[in-house]
Each structure stands twice: as structure tokens, then as C-alpha cells.
Structure 1
Amino acid sequence: MSELDGPNTRVGGLFVCPQCRNRLLKQPESFRCVDCGKEYPVIFGIADFRIRSDRYLSLEEERAKARRLATEVEQSFSAMLDYYYDITDDVPPVLAARYKAYHYNSPRQARYSLERLGIASDDVILDVGCGTGGALIAAAEKGSQVYGMDIALRWLMICQQRLREQGISATLVCADIEASPFPDGSFSKIVATDLLENVYSVEKSLSAMGRLLKADGKLWLAGSNKFCLGPHPSTRLWAIGYFPGKWRRRLVTGLRGVDSLRFINLISPARIIRYAKRIGLHVNMLSPRMVALDGEGTYPAIDRVMIKIYVAVARLPLLRQLLIWIGPAFEMALQKAPHSKESKGVDQA
């Protein structure tokens, strides 16, 4: 559920305008900037602070899809998730089944990941790209103050229903990480799972998260590795990141019917570390992404077998190091240095 009245006072007093960074006034159905006058609607209880939508849909198309999820299907998490993939034409059924398993498994996965980050009850946590809310559920179990942000209102509609069913209170906002509605230095911990592959700019998004962190705050990142020798999660095609862009587009389109990588940033641990150093974020932990499977068998059988083999291999010291660079996914914890200048060097890259 989204609570736009109350918890916001814990994060810098008020939201700020994503466009000019000045104070916003809460109105019955919107927020209005006291300086530039821009107005941001509240849709189904979720404030929409976007200046632009994601790269898949326009703002109008995206809001229409969110309304369909809110009005045309039974209001349950499982029904809404099924309906989402039914009305999303560019996700083949074979991938939809795996994506749904990913969402069902996300709270269990997030519990494991947050243990590595070290969540405390007094933390103020932001999940950037929160999707269906797996990390929000895991963080709320720790008694932390929890905020979820996603550029896709359609995902927040599903997330809101999931949190409602779990009895979890969290503030959900629809926003672009490059233009967030939160004051700088608002959060002690930020979680970004599979986010950087989907943003407009990897560098600017990482810089924005650095600014949102308090001094000595920590950022936990996880992402798919461009240089994976095995199947890429978005395509299930082996070593696809090694192909030149033109060949990659033709191959993915020919084998999957649509280029599911057309708006995906292919990233690697080395690239993230390089950007992080420029903005004063220091790597505390880097490892292959460790997968925690649920006990309900939501992943297809072959995937469960492959995941178990991967986890076993990732525990072997020498192979573990190799998997960081050529494995399917990586995770890292970064810490903000006191007095860091998050934007220095990034905008010049």
C-alpha cells in the first residue's frame, strides 16, 4: 500500500520537484511545485512524479496500461501478474513463465541479499526499480522505513496490491531515478536490483543514487553480466553480449520474434566499478549473484537444476572469482564516502 500522508515527513520533510528541486505542496489529487508550478498527479494512490516514461511506452500509454491492471482484472497479486503478461505482446510465453517465477521468488531472494547488506531497524531504505516489491517485503520485515520507486506505474499497481495482501506499509512513488522526488541525502540504504540494465543512462542513474545516500550510506546493486558465457536472463541466448550490436539485434529478433534487448544496457562489474569510483562510491563487496530459490517450484524444472548447479559452482573459491567476470549475474555493495562529490566526472563521461 502507498502512504502519501505521514511517512514522507521522515524523508527530508517533503517531496521535492523532480524538475527544479524545490518544495512540493500536497493537493487532494496531486502535488504542485511552489516554484515552477508543475503539477504531478496521484493515480490510484500513487504519486506520479515522472517527467518522462520508460523507453517501452509513452506516459499516456503507460498510464492506460496501469488503469487496465487496476480495473480489468481481479485485484490479487497473482491475477494481476498473469494479466500483465497476457496484455504484453512483446514477451513470448517461454520468457513470461520465467519472468513470473522471478517475481514470485523475489522476496526470498531479497531476504538473502539484504542480509548481506546489513539492514537495521532504524534504516531508511529506498528500493529503486522496486517492480513487484520483493525487496520492500524483505526490508519491511526488518522493521525499517521503506520506500519504493519505479519509473513504471504499471509495475507499481501490481506492487501495491502485493503489499496490501501482505499487510505491509510502504510509500510508493512513480519516478525516474535521474529525476527523483526525494531530497539528497535521504536514505541510509538503497537497493537496486536489475535496475541499471533498464535506465536511460547508467552513469547518471548511479550518480543520482549516490546523491540520495546519506554520508556513509550503502548501495546494493545486482545486475546481469554482459560478458556471461551462458544464457542471458532477458533472452535465454548464450553469450549474446559478445555479439556486435547489429548482429545481436538480428539474432535476438530472429530467434525470439522481438529484440528484447533493444532498450537494455549491457553492463559488467568492471564498468560499474569504474563509474562508482568517479562519484565517491567504494566497493565493499563483489561476488557472483547468489540465488536463493523458493520452495514452491515456481521456476521451470530445467531452470531449477541449472540454478542449483550454478550456486554449487559459485561456492568454489577459484570458480567463484571467475564467475564474477563471466557468470550470468553479479552483485555488489558500495558505500558512500563522506564529502563525496557524486556528479563529478560522470556528466563528462
Structure 2
Amino acid sequence: MIHDIPDLRVALECWIDLDEDRQRAREAADRVSRDGLESAIRHIFRSSRGMDEKKADYRTRQVLGGVEKCQVQCSGWLRPAIDANGAILEIGCGPGQLLAAAASRGCEVIGVDVSMEWLVIARHLVEQYGGSPKLAAGFAEQLPLTDDSVAAIISLDVIEHVGDQNAYVDELKRVLRPGGFFGLSTPNRYSLSPEPHVNVWGVGYLPRSLQARYVKLVKNQSYTFTRLLSVRETKKLFSQPKGFAANVTFPAIPEQELSNFTLPRKRLALIYNWLVEIPLVKLFLPFFGAYYRVWGNVKN
């Protein structure tokens, strides 16, 4: 237990060192108490993530401003989760922006993340918005919740980092009550834009066996714990026999995101936003679209 957050992580291979993460979580809790939430977030980006001061400041502003962005999503495609009569679980809640947005609307929120360090931040951020979150460090493949225990599940940009994606989907089905809502988002494997985690072009079009070697060659970075899915692969995971009624949509890039783009990138994004609204083009988005959402219900 760290900062009143239980550590329920089992012995699974993951992208972080659990012992180091526990120590950083204790440091984050001390820094929040001593210097405040913003300082603690900035320190995480500087120390744990190795960013320079300018980038750390930018990412800190992103975290603190992310609650407003999540408020927009809660009024849009995630509205069924907000309206669900029961607890909302976010898998991979990170620093807690979405939990804070939901809590500000009176929702009961539960957050599970592999990083205890970010959960410490999430607790304080949600409390700033009037919430009392239930948080736990755990893995998406083995959620520390009982069967049929939540009314809605949200999991944004998480499925591509899960070691066992089939187990992850099975866990969604297990803890979500019949008829419950789920909403996911993930980068598209077959995207014409650079792979967002390593900023390398063309990764998804390569066979799985070559992707990590290609990223290592081009960027000298590890690609071990990233596995982007195509729409076809995702639909197979959420197939009807597994008890899901799932929809896949390619949204426009949000206006809040465009404000952070350089001018050339913003122009390309505006063209993309125009294209995704054309009915004929929508048929081909699985082969070049930037990212997509998966949403729906578990069958009764």
C-alpha cells in the first residue's frame, strides 16, 4: 500500500520495473505534499521520463489541461459511460484526467494502472475536482475487480501496450455488468502518419516479426511493449461470439489537439478531418486512418 493505493500487480512481464516504480511513487507522494501537484508532475517527466525542462513543462501543462479535453469527450462519445447507473472503471487511467472529468459530474470512479507513480498523481487530481477515487495498481490482463462489478469501462490508448490482448478483452467482459458500456481508443496499425510512440513511418505495414528490428534500426528505440492493431484484428477480438456488440469509428482530430500542432501538421490534420467526413473515404479509413474508437455494450 502506497499513499493509500493498494499494489495488486501480479508477476507479469511489463514495460516498467515494479520496484523502481514503487520508490518513485513514494517520492511523488512526498513531493505533492511538499511542493504541490504541478511540481510533482513536472518532476516525474524530468526524472522518470528523462525530459528536458521545456518538454517537461509542456507535458505538465498537457496533464493539467487534459481534464478540460476529457470533459468534451464525456459530453460526446463517452456520454453513455457518464450516464451509466453505477461505477466507471478506467483501465490505464494514468494521471487521472478522465477520472477527474467524470468525478466532476458526480460519477463514482475507479482507476487501475500499471504505474503506481501516476496513480499517486491521479488521486490528487481527482480530489481537486471533488472526487474520491478508488485506485489500484494492477494489470489489464488480471483486473483486481469482481465479476459484473462496474457499469462502464473506458480504456484510452491502452490495448496496444497490453501483453496479452485476448486476456485484456476477456477481463473487460468479466468485470463489466451485462448491458454495460465500454469505450476504447487506439492508434491504427495501418496509418499513413508516423507511429505515435516512436515517430517512425511505416511500422504498421511491416510484418510483426520485423517491426521491432525496424524501429531499432531507424530510431534505436525498443518496440517491445507496443503492438498496434488493425481494425480487422480489433473486430476479431471483440467478435460477437465473445459477447460484445462493438462499433468502430474513425473520429476527426479534436480541435484541442490542433492547437498544439505546427502549421504544416495542422494543415494536414485539417485535410484529414475533412476526409473522414466523406462517406466513400470512410470505407478506406482502416487502411490509412490515424486512430479509431471501439465502443458498444456487453450483451445481456
Q: TM-score, normalised by structure 1?
A: 0.74
Mark the CA change 1:313 to 1:56 in structure 2 (over 3 Å): closer, same or farther: same
SS at 1:236 equivalent: coil
Matches within 5 A, 1:40-55: 42-52=1-11, 55=14
Match of 1:162 in 2: 125
Mark the CA change 1:335 to 1:309 in structure 2 (over 3 Å): closer, same or farther: same
Match of 2:96 in 1: 133
Mapped to 2, the partners of 1:134 and 1:221 lie a distance apart of: 15
Residue 281 of structure 2, aligned match among 319, 327, 332: 319
Match of 2:293 in 1: 331
Match of 2:73 in 1: 113
Match of 1:62 in 2: 21
Aligned AA (1:177) = A
Deviation by residue 1:160-206 (Cα, 9 ceiling, x = unmatched): 23223333322111111222221110111110101111112111001
The CA RMSD measured in Å over matched residues stands at: 2.9
Q: CA deviation at 1:81?
A: 2.7
**Greater Cα offset, 139-148 or 92-101:** 92-101
Deviation by residue 1:218-249 (Cα, 9 ceiling, x = unmatched): 11110011111211211222221112456433
Match of 1:83 in 2: 43
Mark the CA change 1:228 to 1:93 in structure 2 (over 3 Å): closer, same or farther: farther
- The percent identity for this pair of structures is 22
Asked if structure 2 preserves the Cα contact closer than 8 Å seen for 1:222 and 1:289, the reply is no
Mark the CA change 1:314 to 1:106 in structure 2 (over 3 Å): closer, same or farther: farther
Match of 1:151 in 2: 114
Mark the CA change 1:196 to 1:138 in structure 2 (over 3 Å): closer, same or farther: same
Whose helix fraction is larger, Structure 1's or Structure 2's?
2
How many aligned residue pairs are there?
A: 294
Q: TM-score, normalised by structure 2?
A: 0.85
Mark the CA change 1:316 to 1:163 in structure 2 (over 3 Å): closer, same or farther: same
Deviation by residue 1:54-87 (Cα, 9 ceiling, x = unmatched): 6122321221122232235764443233222212
Mark the CA change 1:290 to 1:48 in structure 2 (over 3 Å): closer, same or farther: farther
1:206 aligns with 2:169: yes
SS at 1:216 equivalent: strand
Asked if structure 2 preserves the Cα contact closer than 8 Å seen for 1:92 and 1:256, the reply is no
